[in-house]
Amino acid sequence: MNRIFIFVIISFLFTSCSLNNESKLWNKKDKELDLNKNKKKISITNKNELKELNPFLKIDFSKIQYKNNPDENLNNYGSLKYSGSLTKKAKYNFSKLEYFNHFYFEPIFLNDGLIFFDKKGNILRFNENKKIIWKNNFYSKAEKKLSPLMSFALKDKSLIVADNISKLFSIDIITGNLIWSKKSDYPFNSQIKIYKDKFFVVNYKNVLKCFYINNGKECWKVETDESFTVSNSKYSMIIKDNILVFNNSIGDITAVNISTGLIEWQLPTQKSSIIDEAYDFNYSKLVNDGNSIYFSNNKNEFYSVDTKSGTINWTNKISSILTPIIINDYIFTVSNDGFLITIQKKNGNIIRIIDIFKNYDSKKRKELIPTGFAIGQTKLYLSNSDGNLIILELRSGKLSKIEKISRNLISRPYIHNGDLFIIQNGSVIQYD
C-alpha cells in the first residue's frame, strides 16, 4: 500500500512540473523572456523580405574624417585613406593553406612589409619589396601535418601568436627568433588583443585568458558557458577604458575588468537552446565607437549595447556576419544576401537599403557569399566568395566597378597606409 501511495505522489509531481506552463522548476519561459526585456524593436523586416529602401538617397559625407589606420582595440575601421586606383603594386606569395577560411585572414601589416603564415606553420616576414626577411617554424613534424591556423598581435617588437592546435608563443619580429612558447589545454579561436603589458585570447571552451607579454605567464582567466559543438566563427574582443568585452560561441557578451579579471556585466543574446546549435551560429566582430558596442549575427539580429552597463540600446532585424563600419552618425553593414544597409547610429533606424547583387542571376546569387568589406574615403569595397571585388560609391550607392581578383574565395579587403590588400589562397595582393 505504501509503495502504491509513493508511486502516485511521484507521478503527480512529475506531471505537474513538466506540463504546467507556470512551473518554475523546468520551465525556461522566464529566462527567455529576460533576453528581450530591454530590447527596442525598430524594424519588422526579416531577412526573407529584405528589399531596397530609398536606394537613391544620398548620404552626407561633408564632415567625414579619413583615418590612416583603424583603431584595432575597438575594431573600429571607419573611413580609411585610399584613393581607389586598384593598381596592382605587389604580391606576397606563400604555400597554400589547407583550410582557407576567411575568418582567419588577419596578417600583421608593417610600415615596411607584412607578416603572415603558410600551410606548414611557417611564419614569414616580407619586406616592402616582397622579399622574405625571415621564415621560421616552431612546430613539430606531427603539428605541421595539422596545418595550424594562426592569430597575430603585435606589441613593439614582440609578435604574439595563438593557434587552433593549442599553441601560444612570442617571436622577435626583428630576428624571427622565439622568445617563449606555451602549450594550452584547448585550441584558441579568437582575435588577440593587447593592453599595456598583457594580452588576451579566448579558447574553444569559451574561456577568456589573460597572459603577460614578456613571458607568457597566465595572470587570470574568465570562464563562460560552453557549447557542445565547435563554432564556425572567430570570437572577437574590444578594449575600452580598462574594460575588455568579448563574445563567445553561444552569443554571450561579457565585460571584464582587466586589472582584476572580474566580470563587470554579462549579456546573453540567445536562448538557451543555442548551446546545442552553436555550429550553425555565426556573428560579426564587436565594434565600439567609444560609447556603444555594435554587432550582428546570422539569426537576423543587429545589436547596439551600452559599453558601460551592458544594457541594450536597440536591436534591428538584420542578418549579417560581416564587421559593421561606423562613420559619423551612420553604421554601414552588408547582409548575408548582399544588401548594403545604412543605419542611424543613435536610434537604429534603417534609412537606406541597396541590393548590391541585383545584377547577378538568381542561380549565381544563391551561391554567392560576401566575405567582408572596407570603406576607403567614400567608396565601399566588398569582397565575395566568387573572387570578385565590388566597388560602390557610398554617397550615392551606385555601382562603380567590379574587379576580378581570383577564381575562388578571397578575404575581406584591408586598407593600410593608403594601400589596399586582399588575400587569396597562396598570396597577399597589394593595390595602390
The pLDDT confidence band at residue 221, using thresholds 50, 70 and 90, is very high
pLDDT at 42 (0 to 100): 37
pLDDT at 303 (0 to 100): 98
Q: In this structure, are residues 185 and 172 in contact, taking their beta carbons and an 8 Å threshold?
A: no
Q: In this structure, are residues 75 and 285 in contact, taking their beta carbons and an 8 Å threshold?
A: yes
Q: What is the DSSP letter of 36?
A: T
Answering whether pTM is above 0.85, one says yes
d(CA 82, CA 68): 9
pLDDT at 23 (0 to 100): 33
Q: Which domains can be identified in the chain, with CATH numbers?
A: 107-190+192-284 (2.130.10.10)
pLDDT at 83 (0 to 100): 86
pLDDT at 85 (0 to 100): 87
Predicted confidence (pLDDT) per residue in 281-292, tens digit: 899 999 999 999
Arithmetic mean of pLDDT, 167-185: 97
For a pLDDT cut of 70, what percent of the chain falls above it?
Answer: 87
Q: Diameter of the chain by CA atoms?
A: 91
Q: Give the three cell numbers for residue 358.
A: 541585383
Arithmetic mean of pLDDT, 97-120: 90
Q: In this structure, are residues 188 and 158 in contact, taking their beta carbons and an 8 Å threshold?
A: no
d(CA 385, CA 294): 25
Rg (C-alpha) for the chain, rounded Å, is 23
Q: Is pLDDT of 138 > 60? A: yes
Predicted confidence (pLDDT) per residue in 296-333, tens digit: 999 999 999 999 999 999 999 999 999 999 999 999 99
Of 32-46, 74-88, 114-128, 181-195, minimum mean pLDDT range: 32-46
Predicted confidence (pLDDT) per residue in 239-265, tens digit: 999 999 999 999 999 999 999 999 999
Mean of the per-residue pLDDT values of the chain: 88
d(CA 233, CA 190): 9
